[in-house]
Chains A and B, each alone.
Chain A
Amino acid sequence: MEFLRAFIIVFEPVNFLLLTSGVILGIVVGAIPGLTATLAISLLLPFTFGLSAIPALIMLLGIYVGGIYGGSITAILIRTPGTPGAAATALDGYPLTQQGLGGKALGVATTASFFGGILSAAIMIWLSPIISSFALKFSSAEYFALAFFGLTIIFSVSGKSLLKGAVSGTIGLLIASVGLDKIAPYPRFTFGISNLIIGFPLLPAVIGLFAIAEVFRMFENPEETTMKVKAKIGRILPTLKELKGLLGLYFKSGLIGTFIGALPGAGANVASFLSYSEAKRTSKTPEKFGTGMIEGVAASEAANNAVTGGALIPMLTLGIPGDAVTAVLLGALTIQGLQPGPLLFRNHMNVIQPLFAGLLVANLVMLISGLSMAPFVARIATLKKTTLLPAIAIFALIGAFATEGSLFHMKIALGFGILGYILEKYEFPVAPIALAIILGPLAETSFRTALIRSRGDMSVFFTRPISVILIALAFASIIYTLYRNIMYAKRQINLSE
């Protein structure tokens, strides 16, 4: 009955309109090569300030779902994945377009994304309350261990160099420590700037790191325009027979995507490639993959959209974002006065349930919009950068200003934009900075609270079973990432020899 009420809230005209516009905006931004779901959410966050929690959050969920799906449209039609998660879709999607079957590929990609998204949302709805009620038993020692485990995600989102990822993460932790200390009220690293007493505001920082830095990066090659859609697209809506044949694959890929999404640091790109290779491995005609196999498109798309529900599980239940998108979403929840974590499920079920319903409806809206608008979206995505860049830049800057109507926030966004641009130029990833800004305060406060309670006895972190398990998992995660990188480096050396 409660859940039915949540659906009624989502279908209220204003909420439904916001959710639908979120999905459509997400699809358009996601389809534009180089612009990711993270950028879409960062750019459109200021829109949600004037809204109350439920409409704001379901709109952002809409952008998330649409943003992940949108990447497949350009991957299929012009072989340019709009998002990294759609790279595997291009492998068979584009050959299908060349054969005049682009419409069929789009239809299957859309229905696969829908099935994957719905499956992962259902798993999230089922699992989240169980995990959150378990996490309610956590004390500050467990919270520190959890935040520490979360911080090891930095290694998984580090890209090419673990060392540079660690440097970026440390910069983020340092940024998070600026401002009035939460336990002993003492201003740290404010250098007499009164605006910094409350620390660096999260939202302008995120807008700077993900939107403004991206604009500066794209300035390096603004003449670069994407290819035009030339080939015939054909019929989009898949037949019932086609759908029936693919249902098993949708289900399997959806499960893979949900599981990968719930793992810290492994996002849509890992899920889609893993699912693609699994589909190829179990296919009767694996040799045909890459030449225009519809199963390749289905496996990749069902998995990358299933990541949405999976990634929301640790973010909502434990307050641990697994990647950049969920880090920005976590920031959005905080701005709405909601602290993600187990208490969210105890104190704010009135928000959580519409959020669950919103995710299911967002997938349905994505299915309808995708099937009806895909070719049109592809045309928008091929706009010249000369039109896009100034629009993104001004939107991001005014958005940062709008957070508090303060020029200081705009300056913070610019500062983080320049910092992000310079760091990325020298191959320091920016996602670890955002993760560390979010997890740093949780790690510090819980660490110090645990020590105050134990009167300085460090054994408090190693005598409580959950804390020990989480710390062990954190070290295992670091060791595994190091091992994986060493093996990768060795393989590269062998290949070059």
Chain B
Amino acid sequence: MKKEDIIAGIIFMGISIFLFIQTLKFPKPPVQGTGPSFWPQVILTLMVIFSIALIINGLTSRKTGAAGTARPKVALNVKSVPKSVWGILVTTLFVFFFKQLGYMLSTFFFLIILINVINFDLRPKKLITSAIQSLLMLGMIYLIFDVFLKVNLPKGSFF
């Protein structure tokens, strides 16, 4: 059994059914197959079929990897959280504070945090290096987008 496929199938099916119900509210056309609901309904029906196939596939296939092998226990601390999760979290925060903090501050914090999330190395020497690296990138991006491409990067509330 492949649990991920079953879960994915259930999620996709749930979304499809929800959206299909939404299409029932779309206006009805005079000629069958020409209204705004027809195409999404075809796609959503296909999605339900594929979701069912995914669930069946998950139920019938063998899980890849050594069966019965227990996952090694990992101590729950900052380092045990996958770096990709940190990456997504930091990027999401950057996007949501981009306008408020402005380009300069938000990008500087984003870069320095991202570099240190990758390294997990908080020695002063490394922090100074990453700060210089962030400042250089910040300046380069500013030059390219604001100066050359005339993109109006947000100034934020602090400048």
Judged by a CB distance under 8 angstroms, whether A2 is at the interface is: no
A49 near B149 with CB under 8 A, answer yes
Answer whether A216 and B54 are a contact pair too, CB < 8 Å, given A174-B19, A390-B115, A401-B151.
no
Interface residues of A in 142-164 (CB under 8 A from B): 163-164
| Cβ contact within 8 Å between A167 and B110 | no
Asked if residues A414 and B36 are in contact (CB atoms below 8 Å), the reply is: no
* Given A189-B22, A394-B107: A170 and B114 interface contact (C-beta under 8 Å): no
Q: Is A447 in contact with chain B by the CB < 8 A criterion?
A: yes
Q: Which of B47, B103, B151 has the most CB of A within 10 A?
A: B151
Chain B residues within 8 Å of chain A by Cβ, number: 60
With A163-B57, A386-B118 in contact, is A447–B36 under 8 Å at CB? no
The dominant DSSP class at the A interface is helix
B98 with A410: CB separation less than 8 A:
yes
Q: Which residues of B contact A444 (CB under 8 A)?
A: 39
Shortest CB-to-CB span from A249 to chain B, Å, is 40
Using known A-B contacts A50-B150, A394-B107, determine if residue A174 contacts B43 with beta carbons closer than 8 Å.
Answer: yes
Contact at B94–A451, with CB atoms within 8 Å? Answer: no
Q: In chain B, what residue has the closest Cβ to A182? A: B36
Mark interface residues in A281-319 (1 if CB within 8 Å of B CB, else 0). Answer: 000000000000000000000000000000000000000
Nearest-neighbor residue (CB-CB) of B57 within chain A: A163
State whether the Cβ of A197 lies closer than 8 Å to any Cβ in chain B: no
Q: Tell me whether A407 and B19 are in contact (CB under 8 A).
A: no
Q: Point out the residue from A220, A398, A407 that lies within 8 Å of B84, measured CB to CB.
A: A220
Decide if B31 touches A163 in the complex (CB within 8 Å).
no
Cβ-defined contact, B47 with A167, below 8 A: yes
Residue of B nearest to A168 (CB): B50
Contact with A along B66-83 (1 / 0, CB 8 A): 000000000000000011
Nearest-CB distance from A220 to chain B (Å)? Answer: 5
Q: Which residues of A contact B118 (CB under 8 A)?
A: 219, 222, 385-386, 389-390
Docked-complex contact A177 and B50, CB < 8 angstroms: no
Given that A184-B36, A448-B39, A452-B34 are known contacts, is A410 also in contact with B137, CB under 8 Å in the complex?
no
Cβ–Cβ contact A451 & B34, under 8 A: yes
- Whether a CB of chain B sits under 8 angstroms from the CB of A387 is yes
Q: How far is the CB of B58 from chain A (nearest CB, A)?
A: 10
| Contact in complex: A390, B40 (CB < 8 Å) | no
- Check A414/B34 contact, CB under 8 A, given A174-B44, A394-B137: no
B35 interface residue, CB < 8 Å from A?
yes
Collect the chain A residues with CB atoms within 8 Å of residue B26's CB.
Answer: 186, 188
Contact with B along A389-425 (1 / 0, CB 8 A): 1110111011001100101001100100110010000
CA distance A189 to B39 in the complex (A): 13
List chain B residues, Cβ under 8 A from A219.
82-84, 86-87, 117-118
Q: Which residues of A contact B31 (CB under 8 A)?
A: 451-452, 455-456
A167 and B88 contact, CB distance less than 8 A: no
Q: Is B104 an interface residue (CB 8 A)?
A: no
Cα–Cα distance between A296 and B52 once the two chains are bound (Å): 45
Give A64 to B84 CA distance when docked, in angstroms: 29
Mask of B87-120 contacts with A, CB within 8 angstroms, 1/0: 1100110110011000100010011001101110
| Any B CB within 8 A of the CB of A183 | yes
A252: CB under 8 A from chain B? no
Q: How far is the CA of A393 from the CA of B50 in the complex (A)?
A: 33
**B135 CB, nearest partner CB in chain A, Å:** 12
Contacting pair A220 B83 (CB below 8 A)? yes
Q: Please list the 7 inter-chain residue pairs (A to B) with the smallest Cβ-Cβ separation, ordered nearest first.
A: A181-B36, A219-B87, A219-B84, A402-B151, A456-B31, A222-B118, A444-B39
A/B interface sample: 16 pairs, CB < 8 A: A166-B46, A167-B51, A170-B43, A171-B47, A177-B39, A184-B35, A188-B23, A216-B87, A219-B86, A220-B84, A390-B137, A417-B91, A421-B84, A428-B8, A448-B39, A456-B34
Other than the given A189-B19, A410-B98, 10 more pairs (CB < 8 A) read A170-B47, A177-B40, A219-B86, A219-B117, A385-B118, A386-B115, A398-B141, A426-B4, A428-B8, A447-B39
B binding-site residues for A, Cβ under 8 Å: 4-5, 8, 12, 19, 22-23, 26-27, 29, 31-36, 38-40, 43-44, 46-47, 50-51, 53-54, 57, 82-84, 86-88, 91-92, 94-95, 98-99, 103, 107, 110-111, 114-115, 117-119, 133-134, 137, 141, 144-145, 149-153
